Amino acid sequence: MIIGYARVSTAGQDLAGQIEELKNKGAQKIYSEKFTGTRVDRPVFKKVLKKLKKGDTLMVTKLDRFARNTVEDIQVVKKLFDKKIAVHILNIGIIEDTPTGRLIFNVFSAFAEFERDMILTRTQEGKMYARMHNPNFKEGRPKKYTVYQLDLAMKLLETDSYHEVEKKTGISVSTLCREHKRRLEAAELEKKP
């Protein structure tokens, strides 16, 4: 059986492209999860590894969906080869349990880890440069709503429901709930001596 595994790192990313590619390449059953690859404990991936049997093929779209680093890549592939499970990484090909196949896999794994490390390094350098040259630099996503907009929304919540305020302001119910909770907690802190 060909078992596909798809993974994205954040809840905002979409699995559909990977799942469609795996289906088109012959995956008969597909497991997916939204879980960062930097975490060791990926519950669905662990489940997939337990379900695979001799003669099965594990299929992923790219090497970086597979493991966090070269050492983990090699360990997982070795365990799969020991169980006589084939590995098919769509952007590389079928990894064969031969000296040449293992060498090619190890080289690609090392390059994938190098690429991840370089992305992290460039990101950190960019943040450091931004902090040095922009005193107003704040890490993370910029705020979507101004303090005035949130103040207005909180005022409307005194008489309207969350859904009504969402319709009037365009601010989602989840954002309204978070902001309302944040303000209640801030008010509680101010009361404490």
Decide if pLDDT at 186 tops 90.
no
* pTM for the predicted model, two decimal places: 0.61
DSSP for 52-103 reads: --TT-EEEESSGGGT-SSHHHHHHHHHHHHHTT-EEEETTTEEEPSSHHHHH
Count CA atoms within 13 Å of residue 61 on its CB side. Answer: 17
Q: 150 vs 114, 136, 147, 160, CA distance in Å?
A: 43, 21, 5, 14
Note every long-range contact of 183-192, with CB atoms under 8 Å and residues 24 or more positions apart, other chains counting: 183/154
Q: How confident is residue 3, by pLDDT bands cut at 50, 70 and 90?
A: very high
Active site positions, annotated: 9
Side chain identity, residue 166: E
pLDDT in tens, 113-129: 888 889 889 999 999 99
d(CA 58, CA 185): 48
Confidence band, pLDDT 50/70/90 cuts, at residue 22 = very high
Average pLDDT over residues 91-108: 88
**pLDDT confidence of residue 4:** 94
Which residue has tokens 């975490």? 39
Question: What does the pLDDT read at residue 38?
Answer: 59
Inter-residue contact 65 to 130 (CB < 8 Å): no
- What is the per-residue pLDDT across 38-90, written as a single tens digit (0 to 9) for each? 555 788 888 999 999 999 999 999 887 777 678 888 888 899 999 999 999 99
pLDDT above 70: residue 174: yes
